Chains A and B, each alone.
Chain A
Amino acid sequence: MPNTRRNPGGSSTTSTPNINTSGTSSHLSSEPSRPTHRLLRGYAFDPSMATQLETALVSEIMYKIPWEDLHPGPVGEYVEVVDYDPPSGCFYVPVDLNDARVLAQNGLAPSEGNPQFHQQMVYAVAMTTIDRFERALGRKAFWTDHYERQSRPTPDQFVRRLRIYPHALRMANAYYSRRKGALLFGYFPGTEDRTSGQFPGGMVFTCLSHDVVAHETTHALLDGFHEHFMEATNPDVLAFHEAFADIVALFQHFTFAEVLAHQIAKTRGDLQSENLLAQLASQFGHARGTHGALRDAIGKYDEVSKKWIKHEPDPTELDQTMEVHGRGAILVAAVFDAFLSIYKNRSRDLLRLASGGTGVLPQGELHPDLVNRLAQEAAKSAGHVLNMCFRALDYCPPVDLTFGDYLRALITADLDLMPEDEHRYRVAFIEAFRRRGIYPRDVRTLSEDSLRWARPGEDPTLPPGEMEERLRHFIKDIRLRSQVDKLRYLRTRREIWDATRLIKIDLHEGISSQVVKAEILQRLTGLALAEYQAPSGVKVHRDGVPVFSVQAIREARRERGDGRVLNQVFITILQKMRMEHEGQMHTIRCGSILVLDLDEQRISYVIRKGLHDQERLLGIIQFQDSQASTSSLSATYFGASNEPFAALHNMGA
């Protein structure tokens, strides 16, 4: 947004006390410090829980959001809530969360009938999700750039804020629209059925469900991170988008301590088996109301025996499930299984302590202290799992992701950060994935070491040590350290975005201007980067340099488990390849990520989806052909949709 937004505090006619006012000369030592957090009340799940006595106690929680300057809307640094309702042809007054009356009571009280609370709720959940994302990755979140039809990259493409429309649709749907850089939430009258336990015909708002908002926000975050994860090149890509959004929504619940403690106390009977937490998840899935598949993948309530039964993982299930949500649910279930093992491991000692060493708990209710400690362990495990899932994004190939690739990314990221795996997190993940039939297709064993992405190997045609030497030169030549230093002290996302854009241009120059570098890189990435060597199918500039793009450069400085700091840079290079298959031309996007260690000045990993893997390219073409033949009725009548998530999320179809 090019124009700086006017400060509503200054121009507003009502004299609401505004914390951001800075006109008067201030007395430094008596000025209160800037708050770290803003507390906002909201629903923990969705409004339906508030009207049931059993869950009413925990139906509301306090969202704790990093403090930021806010304008009415709310409009902050990351999101802007614009409450326009086209089917009803009206606006709703934007909420001012800085109003003293609102601040003093931690936000408006939850209410279905107050649109201003709806705005507060979407803001609170979206910001919580963004905050988790940023904390896990240690850097600022960005939204996908806005392109005007094939235009060249310009500074105008920066999208500062994700727009959120809490009441955009009059239907049971909610989706992320990249085209509009927005989240659209729908509302609809609920079922007329009186036995459903809900108010017959009452209005249901998707924007009041924590899970729906977190899910959609995650779609937007993921799209801003890996913009080609919406291109279905194999059955896993879109399924991953859905699964990842579900994982974030699900595990975010497990970080709400009050809710967790309540549930652990309530379902105490079965603490030994994993059922308890799995059951929790199934309720969360139920509250969402849309993801039957999510519930079923973890387990389900058996009508006959009146018992909740865990779904036994079936390694062949993945092969038989091609539908996006069904497939995504398998990944969610795998991550959830890993979480269960981790939690079990971490809480075993507590159970022994509480049961005189037997590990078998006595009858009756649990001691509140035990409940709290168990809840802490569960919350901690969930937080760790979520962090691992987020950090793995750095290590994912930029295109054509498979679940197997994601497992490798998870393991590699964790090996880098936690060389000593005290609680056996990685084993838990590998085992859970194996039991769901999720394997990478190109590793020899399922050990941590072979799952780790490959380091760049020796080149047999070069004398020993030469390769390493050349790579070091390459990193020096492209002045990577000084490039990254440019990002170091930038404060606003706009500045970072602008600086990153220039670095990308520099890197592109650097690579394409020097053939030697390009040749090494070409070998590593599996792309065509050097002059006059591109295979047919890759476009070449007039000077002989193949067309490629430096799509992203990200830096990460993270503390490792042993207290040292890992100083990394991730560079994404993309290239398009046209190939002919059975008389038809196909354009396939290929790409690689270079993971560099800045302290050591070496390339740690190359994660690649190169041009030369014929089998993979053919697989993509065949998959896309088969998609065409199973696509929806909508495609027959209306042509391809330009809102992919609208179709995926439609709760009716």
Chain B
Amino acid sequence: MPTTMKKTTKASAKKKKVVKVKTSPLSLAPIIAKGSPAKFRARVRMYRHGLGDCFLVTFPRKNQDPFNMLIDCGALARDKPFMTRIVEHIRDTVRAGKTKGKAKLDVVVATHEHKDHVSGFNQARDVFNNDFDFGAVWLGWTENLTKPEIKKLKEAKAKAVAKLQLALTSRLAATAGLQGIGSLLNFSQDDDTTGSGKVAEAMEYLKLRGKEAGELRYCEPGEDPFELDGVSDVRVYVLGPSHDVGFMKISEVTKQMEKDDIVYHLTATGDAGMDALGAAIPTIAGAAGGDPTRYLPFADEHRITRQKADGGSNPYFGGIQEFVSATYDDKQQEWRQIEEDWLSAFGQLALDLDNDTNNTSLVLAFEFVKTGEVLLFVGDAQIGNWKSWANVEFKIPGRTTPRPAHDLLSHTVFYKVGHHCSHNATLKKGGLELMNREDLVAFIPLDKTTASKQGSKGWEMPAPPLFKALKQKAGDRVAISDVNEKLTDNAKKAGILSTESYIDYFLI
């Protein structure tokens, strides 16, 4: 997710007091937080860099450098120098104090193609190129463009984005129906004002690095759990994205959609529907392009416009003038006019787009085999993705019956909260309710200021009911990456350490 519009750049400028980094690059916290334990089995570092995900997960190894995994690196409203400094900090952390030599990221994961999860790979490309070795790149199977159905999906997405952008550049942009779509579109829009470049480019770059490293893994849900090189006792499980199309939408997929082979169907009407919608834009805006008449519901001779195309009065409209004056144009009944209602179709399109992409999130669980603790990273998985886990099972060596994915939830001790704690991105029943460990900790990557500036009313993040439920489940051990948030006492007691640049969780 991406983008940056001028507005958002301004927003980050305002935040200067928060983001001290901007004026003094050296003020990022030291690579080891004060009070860190000498020995631990895993450390999860959440960067406090804005509305977006950037997690560095470290598993110490015997007689070897620790195993480092970077899960996502992106932000919605941050510029290139800022993200570069974050990535340099990651580099320094991985180098563990050394100032020379390549920093080795054993695995780099991009959960899904949204700007707030991958922009850093574009913005700090130089650092990634010059200073980092990649051991492997993991992506969800939905990023495997060699499969024709996935390619089709991506093309449909690109088309939807194009239609929305078209609408936003027309004179309709100011209408209520299109309010809020702009910032929603930021997730997938390509925009260069912050140097975040194209989201697709970031994904391409990662694929390239993965191929170079010799391990580009497209993860499939329910595939056999695997181990991390040199890390004893940790098993990795892939829970999503689901292969089942139905779960990509929150609600049920109709037979018709299956027939249409619209894998992640974007609108009920598919391609033609989008074209028809798009065709309406120029007819209103008076702009040229395409053949708008193709999608008119009736032959042209049925159309009675108020004015002729050249602006002159339309004699046929004169014929119905009396009717229109007494009904649609009646001043007393202005409240019944419907000029903008049809624009809600664009809102729906933008939502579908966002939802579908979020549901392609790669969901990973890391299990400590002997003791059973699980670290859970869900990307931005929406309800549909969560629901699909009910049917995911894993073959475990030495176990006669497969292990249900839900079993992992009940052992979760660390939960990376999905979609910045919006209320449709953490399933209650069959999700959060299954997380019953006494020592559960939840990390929310969220910058409240940025979220509140999005759309016309601001985004509801965190969603109060979910936040409440989370706090209850995790015994108040919930940490938010927002730099204005303080750690709770319970979080401190649980050994969570906070600096101004990151928050660390340790599994001792």
Which residues of A approach B to under 8 Å, CB–CB?
A: 1-3, 5-6, 8, 11, 72-73, 75, 80, 82, 84-94, 113-115, 146, 148, 163, 165, 167-173, 177, 179-182, 184, 186-193, 195-196, 201, 203, 205, 289, 292-293, 323, 625-626, 628-639, 643, 646, 650-653
Quick one: closest B residue to A167, CB to CB? B297
30 residue pairs from A and B, CB less than 8 Å apart: A3-B330, A3-B332, A5-B326, A72-B323, A91-B305, A92-B304, A93-B302, A115-B302, A168-B338, A168-B342, A169-B344, A171-B269, A179-B335, A188-B269, A188-B272, A190-B269, A191-B260, A191-B269, A192-B260, A196-B256, A292-B255, A629-B463, A636-B422, A636-B459, A637-B184, A637-B351, A637-B354, A638-B457, A650-B348, A653-B251
B328 contacts A by Cβ under 8 Å: yes
* Of A170, A192, A628, the contact of B423 (CB 8 Å cutoff): A628
Q: Which of B252, B332, B455 contacts A292 (CB 8 A)?
A: B252
Contact at A652–B268, with CB atoms within 8 Å?
yes
Contacts of A163 in B (CB 8 A): 327, 336
Contact of A184 among B338, B459, B469 (CB under 8 A): B338
Asked whether B32 is an interface residue with its Cβ less than 8 Å from the other chain, the reply is no
Q: Is the CB of A189 within 8 A of B275?
A: yes
Cβ proximity bits B422-438 to A, threshold 8 Å, 1 near / 0 not: 11100010000000000
Q: Which of B327, B339, B455, B459 contacts A86 (CB 8 A)?
A: B339
A86 contacts across to B, CB distance below 8 A: 284, 338-342
Q: Across the interface, name the chain A residue whose C-beta is closest to B420.
A: A636
Chain A residue nearest in CB terms to B338? A168
Q: A628, B463: Cβ atoms under 8 Å?
A: yes
Nearest chain B residue, comparing its CB with the CB of A87? B280
Q: Does B132 contact A (CB under 8 A)?
A: no
Across-interface contacts of B383 in A (CB, < 8 A): 630
The verdict on B277 contacting chain A, using a C-beta distance below 8 Å, is yes
Asked, given contacts A73-B323, A87-B342, A646-B344, whether A1 binds B283 with beta carbons under 8 Å apart, the answer is: no
Whether B297 lies near A93 (C-beta < 8 A) is no
Q: How far is the CA of A181 from the CA of B273 in the complex (A)?
A: 27
Residue B63 interfacial (CB < 8 Å): no
Whether the Cβ atoms of B304 and A182 lie closer than 8 Å is no
Say yes or no for B465: interface residue by CB 8 A criterion: yes
Q: Contacts of A188 on B, CB cut-off 8 Å? A: 268-269, 272-273, 276
Residue ID in chain B nearest A636 by CB atoms: B422
B344, A203: Cβ atoms closer than 8 Å: no
Q: Which of B250, B261, B305, B333 has the most CB of A within 10 A?
A: B333
Q: Tell me if A203 and B297 are in contact (CB < 8 A).
A: yes
Cβ of B306: which chain A residues have Cβ within 8 Å of it? 91
Residues of B within 8 A of A193 (CB): 259-261
| Residue numbers in A under 8 Å from B455 (CB-CB) | 637-639
Q: Which of B98-106, B225-233, B314-322 contacts A (4 or more CB under 8 A)?
A: B314-322
A82 to B338, CA, bound (A): 11
- Which A residues lie within 8 Å of B81 (CB)? none
* A633, B335: Cβ atoms closer than 8 Å: no
Q: A2-B332, A170-B276, A170-B280 are in contact. Are A93 and B304 (CB under 8 A)?
A: yes
A633 contacts across to B, CB distance below 8 A: 250, 351, 354-355, 382, 422, 424
Q: A165 contacts which chain B residues (CB < 8 A)?
A: 338
Report yes or no: B254 in contact with A292, Cβ–Cβ below 8 A. yes
**Closest Cβ–Cβ distance, residue A486 to chain B (whole Å):** 28
Whether B299 sits at the interface, judged by CB under 8 Å, is yes
Q: Are B323's CB and A171's CB within 8 A? A: no
Are B283's CB and A169's CB within 8 A? no
Minimum distance in angstroms from A261 CB to a CB of chain B? 29
Q: Of A87, A293, A638, which one neighbours B283 at CB under 8 angstroms?
A: A87
Question: Which residues of A are found within 8 Å of B347, using beta-carbon distances?
Answer: 634, 638
Residues of chain B at interface, number, CB under 8 A: 84
Residues from chain A with Cβ under 8 Å of B277 in the complex: 87, 170-171
Query: Which residues of chain B are within 8 angstroms of A195 by Cβ–Cβ distance?
Result: 259
Residues in B whose Cβ lies below 8 Å from that of A8: 322-323
Given the complex of chains A and B, what is the CA–CA distance between A622 and B58 in angstroms? Answer: 41
- Chain B window 288-316, contacts with chain A (Cβ cutoff 8 Å), 1 for yes, 0 for no: 00000001111100111110000000001
Q: How far is the CA of A356 from the CA of B352 in the complex (A)?
A: 60
Query: Is B322's CB under 8 angstroms from A90's CB?
Result: no
Most B CB within 10 A of own CB, among A82, A163, A181, A638: A638
| The one of A177, A323, A629 that contacts B466, using a Cβ cutoff of 8 Å | A629
A180 touches B460 (CB 8 A): no
Pairwise interchain contact B297-A85, C-beta atoms closer than 8 A: yes
Q: Which residues of A contact B254 (CB under 8 A)?
A: 292
Judge whether A1 and B348 touch: CB under 8 Å: no
A90 proximity list for chain B (CB < 8 A): 303-305
- Is B158 engaged at the interface, CB distance under 8 Å to the other chain? no
Residue B408 at the A interface, CB < 8 A?
A: no
B416 within 8 A of A: no
Which residue of the partner chain, among A180, A639, A652, contacts B335 with CB atoms under 8 Å? Answer: A180
Closest Cβ of chain B: how far from A109's Cβ, in Å?
Answer: 16
Quick one: closest B residue to A326, CB to CB? B252
A93 in contact with B320 (CB, 8 Å): yes
Q: A180-B337, A182-B338, A653-B352 are in contact. List 17 more A-B contacts (CB 8 A).
A: A1-B332, A3-B330, A5-B326, A6-B322, A8-B323, A88-B297, A146-B335, A163-B336, A171-B277, A172-B267, A172-B269, A184-B338, A188-B273, A292-B252, A628-B464, A634-B347, A653-B250
- Picked from B180, B280, B457, the residue with its CB within 8 Å of the CB of A88 is B280
User: Inside 8 A of B180's CB, which chain A residues have their CB?
Assistant: 637-638
Is A652 a contact partner of B348 (Cβ separation < 8 A)? yes
CB pair A639–B305 under 8 Å, yes or no, is no
* Pairwise interchain contact B463-A91, C-beta atoms closer than 8 A: no
Would you call B157 an interface residue if the criterion is a C-beta within 8 Å of the partner chain's C-beta atoms? no
| Distance from B467 Cβ to chain A, minimum over Cβ atoms (Å) | 10
Given the complex of chains A and B, what is the CA–CA distance between A72 and B319 in angstroms?
Answer: 12
CB distance from A147 to the nearest CB of B (A): 10
Given contacts A628-B463, A629-B469, A636-B422, A91 and B320 within 8 Å (CB-CB): yes
Q: How far is the CB of A151 from chain B (nearest CB, A)?
A: 13
Contact yes or no, B303 A181, CB < 8 A: no
**Contact mask for chain B residues 462-488; partner A; CB cutoff 8 A; 1 contact, 0 none:** 011110010000000000000000000
Question: Do A177 and B270 contact each other (CB < 8 Å), given the known contacts A72-B323, A92-B302, A170-B280?
Answer: no
Does B271 reach chain A (CB closer than 8 Å)?
yes
Q: Chain A contacts of B454 at CB under 8 A?
A: 637
Q: Knowing A91-B324, A189-B275 touch, does A84 contact B280 (C-beta < 8 A)?
A: no
User: A205–B464 Cα gap in the complex (Å)?
Assistant: 41
In the bound complex, CA of A637 to CA of B452 (Å): 10
Do residues A93 and B319 form an inter-chain contact, with CB atoms below 8 A? Answer: yes
Option from B297, B341, B457 in Cβ contact (under 8 Å) with A177: B341
B residues in contact with A146, CB < 8 Å: 335
Cα A563 to Cα B335 in complex, Å, equals: 47
Q: Which of chain B's residues has its CB closest to A175's CB? A: B341
Distance from A96 Cβ to chain B, minimum over Cβ atoms (Å):
10
Given contacts A86-B341, A628-B465, contact A289 B256 (CB under 8 A): yes
B170: min CB distance to chain A, Å? 12
A148 vs B340: C-alpha distance when bound (angstroms): 20
From residue 213 to 246 of chain B, which have CB atoms closer than 8 A to chain A? none
User: Which 5 residue pairs across A and B have the least CB separation, nearest first?
Assistant: A652-B268, A189-B272, A87-B280, A171-B345, A90-B303
